[in-house]
Structure 1
Amino acid sequence: MSVVGLDIGSISAKIAVARNRGVDVIANEVSNRATPSLVGFGPKSRYLGETAKTQEISNLKNTVTSLTRLAGRPFNDPDIQIEQEFISAPLVNINGQVGAEVSYLGQKTQFTATQLMAMFLTRVKQTASAELRLPVSDIVMGCPAWYTDAQRRSMIDAADIAGLKLLRLINDSTAVALGYGITKLDLPAPEEKPRRVAFVDIGNSNYTCSIVEFVKGQLSVKSTAWDRHFGGRNLDKALVDHFAKEFKEKFKIDITTNPKAKVRVAAACEKMKKVLSANANAPINIESLMNDVDVKGFLKREEFEELIKPLLDRVTIPLERALADAKLKIEDIDGVEMVGGCTRVPSIKNAVQQFFKKQLSFTLNQDEACARGAAFSCAILSPAFRVRDFSVHDIVNYPIEFTWEKSPDIPDEDTSLTVFNKGNLMPSTKILTFYRKQPFDLEARYAKPETLPGKTSPWIGRFSVKGVKPDAKDDFMICKLKARVNLHGVLNIEQGYYVEEQEVEEPIPEKEGDKKDGDAMDTEAPKTRKVKKQVRKGDLPLSAGTASLDSSSKEAAAEKEQEMIMNDKLVHDTEDKKNELESFIYELRNKIDEQYAEFASDEEKEKIRKKCDESEDWLYDEGEDVTKAVYISKIEELRAIGGPVIQRYLDKLEEERQARVKKDEEAAAARKATEDAKRKAEEDKRKAEEDAKKPEDTEMKDADVPEVEETD
């Protein structure tokens, strides 16, 4: 069984797997540990991951990035207009949700953000399966802590469409904390003061700070704060804007009018940013940027820091908010762990260090910490692995309330209730009680819409409770609803049932001293009392309307995804057969005058050359875009002509091999005979030496016996 953790960033993703008694971040098909989180579309197939990156500049209008920034967002959200600055493909409105319009298979096609995410997850699944050499099913994915219910449901739907079983959708900062804590053997005991660590995660587009308490075998998230528009891409944009202005003045070119030029400058600025993190200055050089103009520039680190000063002024805001929400002071923090690629920028590190007034820690892998933590979470949830006991207590980041219509039978009834407050444990369950005589509906929504990202709708879902009716006495039915924020951070009403109040007798507990001393046996019946208890009587049917895809839409999307997977495979196989035909033509033409020369007559050679030329002409003319079957038939035609010659060559090689084998066997037999003879001679010699060392016979012979004469 596979155990996979996935960290999907706005520009790249890392895949971690549990194996060999640990967690490894695996490499993709081109040996990169980070896979570009891009989805591209072409006239024949899709481009996913690395292949999308290689054709991004030449196919800008059909390549979509920042997938996690689009998931579950309405099209009219102001944040979508911000994302369009970083996404070259046009974003469109698909039934109120954001999607992208691209040219796929020669036609204009629209895909929702959920479908685009599912496509990338398909690539992740294939990469992990190839590395593990077994089917991948179970997965834990990281997501930004500021994700709403709709965004989380979009990620869950995407995993379902891609054929993955999502065990948990874990907040990125929580995954990082898990990866930190589960390997620590020096955490305090539960009864001792917990270790408090601030995790500062600044990636390409998100900035998150989480305050987490650790004791042995457990972590508890106390608070999480964020800045959704602070990251590496914002630093890059400051550089791009600077050089766009400089190039316009210096070289008289305007890169804002040329998308490809702008992407090339952005890539160069990203490299410059990394160089400036370790050096005092850095150059920029781009050949033939646009209009055949070569550009170059130079920037000092001080100038760079001046360009990003508006961003640097915001560094401490999430830190202050996280401490305030956790009701802690700076001196209460025991350590500060920095993760995310953007934390390598010296000015950002200095700002964080000055705020906390302590040395920063970089013990975790800054790029892979989230993926590793997600893999640990997957191993904990999977029955296939035994992992050290470690519980994770995350929190609800937005307060959730339920609203309902007032019952006509209860005129003074409240119609709303905040059920999950900000900071409540997640997952957690609450029981709601309603007194009703007829079916009723209730809605879940976020209690403070102003805290949500962008202009996200506060609506979470509408739930209908069926089967409600008056009881036998025409009185209210007591309805109980089990509301739960689950492991994914998604709200559902999981169960509905009704109860009846019944009088039951229960024994009254005796107080100390009631029993008289000396009573050997108490013959008096125990005292009881009648109490009213609620007894569960039956279930109430529920129906829900949420931001999740309905089953039919999800099945249709899954079928569409499978269709595109099969098409991609067919295109890949067709390209392989085309390459096989091309290689076979060159191989046969070259070898007919070399290896195969002595095995073919002049007539056969001429026939093969002619067929190779015809096949080559066809391949580069009519054969550029044909079906897989046509390439296979062309290969078979060549094999039909060249096959007898190749077979003679192979037969000759086989004869030579058999001769070598026979010769080797004879040589081995001769060696064995020589060794046997040598061994026998050595044994005979050893035996003779042993016989020579035996003692002489001491028995007296007759001649050796002295004669004795008798005397008178």
Structure 2
Amino acid sequence: MNQQLVIGIDLGTTQSCTAFFHDGQVEIISNDQGNPTTPSCVVFVGGNCFLGENAKNLDVISPQNTIFDMHHIIGRQVEDSSVQFGIKHCPSDRNDQPRANDQLNRYVKTYSAEESSIILLTKLKESAETYLGTTVKDAVITVPACFNDFQKRAIRNAAIVAGLNILRIINKPTAVALAFNMKENICVDQNIMVFYLGGGTFDVSILKLLDTFNFEVKSTASDMHLGGQDFDNRMVDYFAGEILRKHGKYLKDNPKSVRRLKRACEEAKRSLSTNTETTIMIDSLFQNIDFSSKITRARFEDLCIDLFRTTIKLVERAIHDAGMSKDDIDQLILAGGSTRIPKIRKLLEEYMQGVKINCDIYPDVIAAKGAAIKAAIVNGQFEEPFRRIVLTDTIPASLGIETEGYRMTKFIHNNTRIPVRVSKEFITFSDNQRSAVIRVFQGEEELTKNNNFLGQFELILPPAKNIKTHVAVTFELNVNGILTVEAVNQDSGLSRRVIF
């Protein structure tokens, strides 16, 4: 076995998967349970750590000791709107990121999403080494296209601690397109739409296959909180309301009961993809209530229809941002486990009107396969002409700084191809200003308060010969989408460079 083997990791919100390229094909690496995917869940109980399937079996017992949906919150602070959105589903303290607790006797240790990601990545690495019989050091990782720079950096930092050198970070839809093209050998000069709806996030990307070895991402539209977990939560709310009406009991105040109900709702959702009706039965769910209730596929669709339609709105936005019409799309690829839901497929078929929909792939592992192919390319495992495969990706949201009036001055606009470097020159606000604070934001709104704050740094300005001084600011995104911002005082030459 090649000692320099590079693996591909699809690091998912709810499920993670690892793959490698060998003898001209991609092979999925099974975990120690023999399964192709591993739940992205970590539980801490009595000084012991459980993850994957074992953690999922324990999270209903110790929800306060559990971190799940960790990639919704990784790289974010508790005041972030995205964290606040899901904080009711994950323990947290008031001053830092959501955390899980591990109590052993009188000692309590807390774990953040980053620390839990280290544990998960370490396990994926160990499973790969056991499966392959060799040491694994390098990897290519997929992340949702909607991930910002803080989140990508948090993933990279977690990987380093786990003993992995990340060669590339690529967006999930891009990985899917790469894997699909290697399998199907799509004709050149085609426009491909990847519709990726997973357990926690939704991405839709439009790529152009310029020739057999050259992909160019034309546009991406994403929602950080749109996926299978959100559909599960709608069912939880529905059944919690039923319990309140029938028994006068408010179940949602009990974390264990909520987790048990959510697990049952997740199974019901899967069942409704193939059946028109299913039954939920949970013994002693809450305060000695033995809960049993039926739900039809039609009722489930009604509960989630606004979320389903949001995916179509984002498809429409991606097509518009790509400067195309629906008729310009040649191939539509479905990926992510939630694309099995019949109503989503029906809405997509109705909107795309006859575009060929490719849904005969295994949607849970195709992104990992794409990561493995990209890993093999970077590692030089391909012979000519395949080693010339090029993926030209874009950024999902605009990047800029705060200027006078708390306005967002954009440097790099959404759907700009990366890598990219952009510079702008500014004049200080006031006379004899002694410092310039560079506040960096991500988003599309005119005012910075409505965008994501990524961070700030200060550039010290020496006493100026002129009343005002010039500052040049440069934004640079590398091939992994990692942002570096540099500010230079044009008069003195003093500079400050920060990686976000």
State if a TM-score over 0.5 links the two structures.
yes
1: CA distance between counterparts of 2:38 and 2:448?
27
Mean Cα deviation higher: 246-255 or 265-274? 246-255
Other-structure match for 1:158: 158
Mapped pair 1:176 → 2:176: yes
Q: CA deviation at 1:451?
A: 9.0
Say if 1:223 and 1:322 are closer, same or farther in 2 by CA, change over 3 A. same
Deviations 1:562-610 (A, max 9, x none): xxxxxxxxxxxxxxxxxxxxxxxxxxxxxxxxxxxxxxxxxxxxxxxxx
1:361 CA drift (Å) = 1.6
- Pair 1:222-2:218 in alignment: yes
CA RMSD of aligned residues (A): 3.6
Deviation at 1:28, TM superposition (A): 0.6
Aligned to 1:315, the other structure's residue is in SS state: helix
Residue 213 of structure 1 is matched in structure 2 by 208
Q: For residues 271 and 113 of structure 1, do their structure 2 counterparts lie closer, same or farther at Cα, with a shift above 3 Å needed?
A: closer
Residue range with higher mean Cα deviation, 11-20 or 450-459: 450-459
In the alignment, structure 1 residue 53 sits paired with structure 2 residue 52:
no
Please state how far the C-alpha of 1:64 moved relative to its aligned partner: 0.6
Q: How does 1:278-289 map to 2 (within 5 A)?
A: 278-289=274-285
Report what 1:133 is aligned to: 133
- Spell out the pairing of 1:182-221 with structure 2 (5 A cutoff): 182-188=182-188, 194-216=189-211, 217-221=213-217
Structure 1 residue 327 and structure 2 residue 296: aligned?
no
Q: State the Cα deviation string for residues 119-170 of structure 1 (Å, max 9, x = none).
A: 2212212111211222221111111111222222211221122221111111
| Counterparts in 2 of 1:462 and 1:349: CA distance versus 1, 3 Å | same
Unmatched 5+ residue regions in structure 2? none
Cα offset for 1:496? 8.3
Q: Give yes or no for contact 2:419–2:479 (8 Å, CA) kept in 1.
A: yes
- Letter of the aligned partner of 2:334 in structure 1? M
The count of corresponding residues between Structure 1 and Structure 2 is 486
Task: Kindly provide the CA deviation profile for residues 633-682 of structure 1, in whole angstroms up to 9, marking residues without a partner as x.
Answer: xxxxxxxxxxxxxxxxxxxxxxxxxxxxxxxxxxxxxxxxxxxxxxxxxx
The offset of 1:210, in angstroms, is 0.9
Cα distance between partner residues in 1 of 2:136 and 2:447: 34
How far apart are the structure 2 equivalents of 1:357 and 1:485? 37
Tell me the CA shift for residue 171 of structure 1.
Answer: 1.2
Cα drift, residue 494 of structure 1? 7.8
Cα distance in structure 2, aligned partners of 1:444 and 1:360: 43
Correspondence 1:394 to 2:390: no
* Counterpart among 272, 275, 280 of residue 271 in structure 2: 275
TM-score norm. by structure 1 comes to 0.62
Alignment of structure 1 residues 215-294 onto 2, 5 Å = 215-216=210-211, 217-250=213-246, 254-294=250-290
Q: Higher relative CO (CA 8 A, sep ≥ 6), structure 1 or 2?
A: 2
Say whether the 8 Å CA contact 2:471–2:487 is kept in structure 1.
no
Equivalent position to 2:420, from 428, 431, 444: 428
Offset at 1:196?
A: 0.7
- Any idea what SS the aligned residue of 2:310 has? coil
The one-letter code matched in structure 1 to 2:303 is: L
Which sits farther off after the overlay, 249-258 or 198-207?
249-258
1:401 aligned counterpart, secondary structure: strand
The Cα of 1:466 is off from its aligned counterpart by 9.9
The structure that is strand-richer by fraction is 2
SS of residue in 2 equivalent to 1:278: coil
SS of residue paired to 1:91: coil
Measured after TM superposition, the shift of residue 256 of structure 1 is 2.3
Q: Which residue of 2 aligns with 1:6?
A: 9
Instruction: Name the aligned partner's letter for residue 55 of structure 2.
Output: A
Question: Over residues 166-211 of structure 1, what are the superposed CA-to-partner deviations in whole Å (9 max), with x where a residue is unaligned?
Answer: 11111111111222234443532xxxxx201111111112122111
Tell whether the 8 Å contact from 2:102 to 2:109 is kept in structure 1 after alignment: yes
Give the aligned residue type for 1:327. Answer: G
1:91 Cα deviation (Å)? Answer: 1.0
TM-aligned CA deviation for residue 542 of structure 1? 5.2
Distance 1:237 1:167, change over 3 A: same
Distance 1:287 1:375 in 2: 43
Q: CA deviation at 1:432?
A: 6.0
Deviations 1:493-514 (A, max 9, x none): 589899xxxxxxxxxxxxxxxx
State the secondary structure of the residue aligned to 2:205: strand
**One-letter code of the match for 2:477?**
V
Q: What secondary structure does 1:124 align onto?
A: helix
Which residue does the alignment assign to 1:124? 124
Residue in 2 aligned with 1:518? none
Bigger shift: residues 216-225 or 227-236:
227-236
Q: Kindly provide the amino acid, as one letter, of the partner of residue 185 in structure 2.
A: L
1:382 is aligned, of 379, 383, 392, to: 379
Residues 340-383 of structure 1, C-alpha deviations (whole Å, 9 max, x = no match): 11111111111111011024221432111111111111212224
5+ residue gaps, structure 1, are 189-193, 406-414, 499-539, 548-712
Q: Would you tell me which structure has more helix in proportion to its own residues?
A: 1
Give the distance between the partners of 1:481 and 1:252, measured in 2 at CA.
Answer: 60
3-state SS of 1:308 partner: helix
Give the one of 493, 497, 500 matched to 1:544: 497
Displacement of 1:226 in angstroms is: 1.9
With over 3 angstroms needed to count, the CA separation of the structure-2 counterparts of 1:461 and 1:2, relative to structure 1, is farther
Report if the CA contact (8 A) 2:489-2:495 is conserved: no
Give 3-state SS (helix, strand or coil) of 2:232's partner.
helix
The code of the aligned residue for 2:483 comes to: L
In the alignment, structure 1 residue 26 sits paired with structure 2 residue 25: no
Offset at 1:251? 5.9
Distance 1:334 1:343 in 2: 19
TM-superposed CA distance for 1:237, in Å, is 1.8
Letter in 1 for 2:372: A
For residues 358 and 77 of structure 2, what CA distance do their matches in structure 1 show?
39
Query: Closer, same or farther in 2 for the Cα pair 1:60/1:43, shift >3 Å?
Result: same
State the identity %: 27
Q: Displacement of 1:417 after TM fit?
A: 6.1
Mapping of residues 467-546 of structure 1, within 5 Å: 483-493=475-485, 543-546=496-499
The answer to whether the 8 A contact 1:223-1:325 is kept is yes
User: Which has the greater radius of gyration?
Assistant: 1
CA separation of 1:246 and 1:17: change in aligned 2, threshold 3 A: same
Amino acid at match of 1:32: N
